[in-house]
Amino acid sequence: MPDTAAGPAEGAAAPAFTMAASSGRTVSSADLAGKPYLLYFYPKADTPGCTKQACGIQEALPQLGKIGLTVIGVSPDPMKPIEKFAAKYNLTFPLASDEDHKVAEAFGVWVEKSMYGKTYMGMERSSFLVGADGKVAKVWRKVKPEAHAAQVMEAAKGL
């Protein structure tokens, strides 16, 4: 059996998902069938790195939209803080709640982290660019929030 903890590799089929998202939306891989999308995982709504990353993606949305790319942000937060985060920064793309981290586990981004000598489980800042064929075209692990939108733009042009 393949090691799912590592998540899907480039060229592999993206795991299926359905999650509640901001503005009363639901996002699912079934609804995205035949369309390219970016699923980006971030640790916590309204923290400095996550805000930089989300605002960078929001700024790039017009260009990403021109190339037909749907963007979905995913965090382990409940919907209430996600809705506040989306409203505070006028984020129009869906921000999904993965409270039980089933989607994060399927993508291999629910990982052991450590801070101040304590280890805990948390979301690794990672992104998966999925082509219209449902296969993972590009994987970014331990994403740098500031540079991420530009990296996505560049990779998405090749879809």
Has 50 been annotated as catalytic? Answer: yes
Q: What is the mean pLDDT of the chain?
A: 92
Tell me: the pLDDT tens digits for 100-139? 999 999 999 999 988 899 998 999 999 999 999 999 999 9
- Name the catalytic one among 14, 32, 45, 50: 50
- Cα angle at 84 between 95 and 35, to 5 degrees? 15
Residue 150 is predicted with a pLDDT of 87
The full DSSP string for 77-121 is S-HHHHHHHHHHTT--S-EEE-TT-HHHHHTT-EEEEEETTEEEE
Residue 115 is predicted with a pLDDT of 83
Residue 102 is predicted with a pLDDT of 96
pLDDT interval class at 2 (50, 70, 90): very low
Residue 13 is predicted with a pLDDT of 96
Fold of the 4-157 domain: Glutaredoxin (3.40.30)
DSSP letter at 12 equals: S
